[in-house]
Amino acid sequence: MNQNKTIYPMNFIRQIVNNDLNSGKHKLIRTRFSPEPNGYLHIGHVKSICLNFGIAQDYHGQCNLRFDDTNPAKEEMEYINAIQRDIKWLGFNWNGEVRYTSNYFDKFYNYALELIDKGLAYVDQLSADKIRDYRGTLKSPGKNSPYRDQSVVKNRFLFEKMRKGEFSEGSVCLRAKINMASSLMVLRDPVLYRIKFVNHHQTGDKWCIYPMYDFAHCISDALEGITHSLCTLEFQENRRLYDWILDNITINFRPKQYEFSRLNLEYTVMSKRKLNFLVTAKLVEGWDDPRMLTIAGLRRRGYTAASIREFCRRIGVTKQDQNIKMAMLEACVRDDLNNQAVRIMAVIDPVLLVITSLPIGHEQNILIPNHPYKSEMGTRQVIFSREIYIDRSDFREIADVQYKRLSLGNEVRLRNSFVIKAESIKKNSKGEIITIFCHHDPDTLGKDPVDGRKVRGVIHWVSATHGISAEFRLYEQLFKEANPTSVKNFISALNPNSLNIYHGFVEPGVLQTNLNQPIQFEREGYFYVDDNYHAFKSTRPVFNRTVELRHTSTIKSKL
């Protein structure tokens, strides 16, 4: 997989862009990605990022990054910084400076005055509840507010009072005068401005009135010369308002909105509000918890940027509802890591194994390739010793015919090493196996047994005298329901076994390899060193399992 560039296929939006360039309607394509800085970006946002930045890249256009910061109560600098970091990490660059919708607050204010002067906006003094009552329903038309026909002079006067902070929050608002009987609810005199006495991370205390998304978005797009304003399907109706506002103000650029379907992924929630709840209720470690499908979480888990972009390439862009299986995301990262991950041995759930046929203190170096089919990745020396660890699940006292690993009286190959046969075991007072005693066949290093007998299984191991103690974090889906939002309380759909921590051992050489690269622990999966290990420089490395080697069922443990 190409690390730097993903080739996206044609889709209906790219077709529109193509046509607009061919017809000469636009010479330069300009898109924008416009997140609300009220949380970290998640995999759903990546679909929009790959679409917007991908189009700019492929059509030699520009993509602006604009923070949609019209709701300061929920916004934070932490999110603004995290969003920029995540977009860059995904491999995209925005055009010029970072922009903020709040850059245009003065302009919005003047456009609001223009609508007032044209008799197309009014200050409504109905309460929020009344406004809702008057709005009507899908089946019945709305009712005009008694303030709807106030004079322009009065509206200007009241709007100015709003701006000066002379009204309380929620007592008045500015509304567009469109049509209370419209079949489209968004056109029933939508609110354009509301009062909020909150400090804004960009504009401080300058404003106590803030524009609504619908008013701010279309004007920002026009001011920035956005040719194709791409958003998700729930804004389809809002397009009518988008166009109405631009039709009625004096602005010399006309952007156009197009909608595509949201990405939904099984076993996860996408809304920032819900993700924020998980973080603040401490149900996860933070926004970058490796179980969260945030970009930060995926990165910490060991997903590569290329694999996430590849996922977006595979899912495509249409108007159809999109409910994607986790297996698809996992397949993308597996394909990418298979190519580049160095192979190393680690024992996650260790049990001691002693090879009694070797002399006490025996040690030898074994040369092991770092990748099975990429010789350019080199080899390494691994110390094999008389005492090793193997994984508990690789031994059974009594095995059935299907069991290909080690069992009493039977043989198995130690990966890259000898064939051994289990002779006896020692248990503790609880009946748990604490040591397995074996003999080895000295004539099987790098070759099959000379008498032609077949050894079916291969298991991995780590030297008990040289192995380094390590923590392994194995993850399952965060939710046990395929569609957690369909459950009344989505918290009740959390999978109690989503994190399983093991303490085991890893080849000592692992600390000499570049720990910022993905690793395949042979037979166990792809792993990535946890950020906290770097941060705290602890002596015991912590590895997150990115994904298993093969697709198994989504939820494994009994719930």
Among the residues of 118-149, which ranges form H helices?
A: 128-134
Contacted entry of Mg ion, ligand ATP, none for residue 439, CB cut-off 5 to 8 Å set by kind: none
Contacted entry of ligand ATP, Mg ion, none for residue 270, CB cut-off 5 to 8 Å set by kind: ligand ATP
Residue 354 zone, left/alpha/beta (φ > 0; ψ -120 to 50; rest): beta
Contact track, ligand ATP, 186-225, x by CB under 6 A: ----------------------------------------
CB of 49 to ligand ATP, least distance (A): 8
- Which of residues 47, 66, 177, 380 is near ligand ATP by CB under 6 A? 47
Is 45 one of the binding residues for ligand ATP (CB under 6 A)?
yes
Contacted entry of ligand ATP, Mg ion, none for residue 44, CB cut-off 5 to 8 Å set by kind: ligand ATP
DSSP assignment of 475-540: E--SBSSSSGGGSSSGGGGB-TTSEEEEEEEE-GGGGTS-TTS-EEETTTEEEEE-HHHHHHT-SS
Cα–Cα distance, 501 to 163 (Å, whole number):
55
Stretch that binds ligand ATP, among 182-190, 266-274, 398-406, 444-452 (CB under 6 A): 266-274
Q: Which residues pair with 369 in a beta bridge?
A: 379
Provide the residue type at 70 as one letter.
T
Contacted entry of ligand ATP, Mg ion, none for residue 495, CB cut-off 5 to 8 Å set by kind: none
Is 228 one of the binding residues for ligand ATP (CB under 6 A)?
no
Q: For ligand ATP, which is the closer residue by CB, 216 or 263?
A: 263
Contacted entry of Mg ion, ligand ATP, none for residue 58, CB cut-off 5 to 8 Å set by kind: none
Contacted entry of ligand ATP, Mg ion, none for residue 200, CB cut-off 5 to 8 Å set by kind: none
Contacted entry of Mg ion, ligand ATP, none for residue 178, CB cut-off 5 to 8 Å set by kind: none
> At what angle are helices 43-58 and 305-315 packed, to 10 degrees?
80
Q: For ligand ATP, which is the closer residue by CB, 32 or 440?
A: 32
Give residues with Cβ within 8 angstroms of 324, minimum separation 6: 263, 264, 265, 266, 315
Is 255 one of the binding residues for ligand ATP (CB under 6 A)?
no
Q: For Mg ion, which is the closer residue by CB, 35 or 255?
A: 35
Q: Which residue's beta carbon is nearest to the bound ligand ATP?
A: 44
Binders in 4-63 for Mg ion, by CB under 5 A:
36
Cα–Cα distance, 109 to 264 (Å, whole number):
37
Contacted entry of Mg ion, ligand ATP, none for residue 262, CB cut-off 5 to 8 Å set by kind: ligand ATP
Give residues with Cβ within 8 angstroms of 327, minimum separation 6: 551, 554
Q: For Mg ion, which is the closer residue by CB, 36 or 423?
A: 36
| Spatial CA neighbour of 28 closest among 55, 52, 60, 58 | 60
Q: For ligand ATP, which is the closer residue by CB, 313 or 473?
A: 313
Place of tokens 């996992």: 330
Stretch that binds ligand ATP, among 9-17, 192-200, 270-278, 398-406 (CB under 6 A): 270-278
Is 386 one of the binding residues for ligand ATP (CB under 6 A)?
no
Q: Under DSSP, is residue 421 helix (H, G, I), strand (E, B) or coil?
A: strand
Bridging pattern class, strands 209-211 and 228-232: unpaired
CB of 523 to Mg ion, least distance (A): 43
Q: Which residue's beta carbon is nearest to the bound Mg ion?
A: 36
CB of 278 to Mg ion, least distance (A): 16
DSSP assignment of 252-268: S---EEEEEPPEEETT-
Stretch that binds ligand ATP, among 29-37, 129-137, 351-359, 550-558 (CB under 6 A): 29-37
Cα–Cα distance, 175 to 192 (Å, whole number):
5
Contacted entry of Mg ion, ligand ATP, none for residue 263, CB cut-off 5 to 8 Å set by kind: ligand ATP
Among the residues of 146-253, which ranges form H helices?
A: 152-164, 213-223, 238-248
Q: State in Å, rounded, how far the first CA of the chain is from the last one.
A: 37
Residue count of the chain, please give it: 559
Q: For Mg ion, which is the closer residue by CB, 36 or 349?
A: 36
Q: Characterize 434-443 residue by residue with b for buried, 16 or more Cβ atoms within 10 angstroms of its Cβ, and e for exposed.
A: eebbbbbbee
CB of 261 to ligand ATP, least distance (A): 8
Q: For Mg ion, which is the closer residue by CB, 36 or 114?
A: 36
Tokens for 384, please give them.
């094999």
Q: What is the CA radius of gyration of the chain?
A: 31
Q: For Mg ion, which is the closer residue by CB, 36 or 237?
A: 36
Stretch that binds ligand ATP, among 103-111, 262-270, 327-335, 443-451 (CB under 6 A): 262-270
Cα–Cα distance, 170 to 208 (Å, whole number):
12
Stretch that binds ligand ATP, among 41-49, 58-66, 371-379, 469-477 (CB under 6 A): 41-49
Q: Under DSSP, is residue 322 helix (H, G, I), strand (E, B) or coil?
A: strand
Catalytic (active-site) positions: 36, 262, 272
- Which of residues 85, 143, 254, 262 is near ligand ATP by CB under 6 A? 262
Is 236 one of the binding residues for ligand ATP (CB under 6 A)?
no
Segment holding 382, helix H or strand E: strand 379-385
Task: Show the 3-state SS of 194-208.
Answer: EECCCCECCCECCCC
309 backbone dihedrals φ, ψ, rounded to 5°: -65, -40
Binders in 299-358 for ligand ATP, by CB under 6 A:
none
Provide the residue type at 202 as one letter.
Q
CB of 260 to ligand ATP, least distance (A): 7
Q: Which residues pair with 438 in a beta bridge?
A: 355, 422
Cα–Cα distance, 478 to 38 (Å, whole number):
22
- Which of residues 6, 8, 30, 48 is near ligand ATP by CB under 6 A? 48
CB of 48 to ligand ATP, least distance (A): 4
- Which of residues 50, 90, 263, 348 is near ligand ATP by CB under 6 A? 263
Q: Which residues in this chain contact ligand ATP in the complex, by CB under 6 A?
A: 34-36, 44-45, 47-48, 68, 231-232, 262-263, 270-272
- Binding interface with Mg ion (CB under 5 A): 36
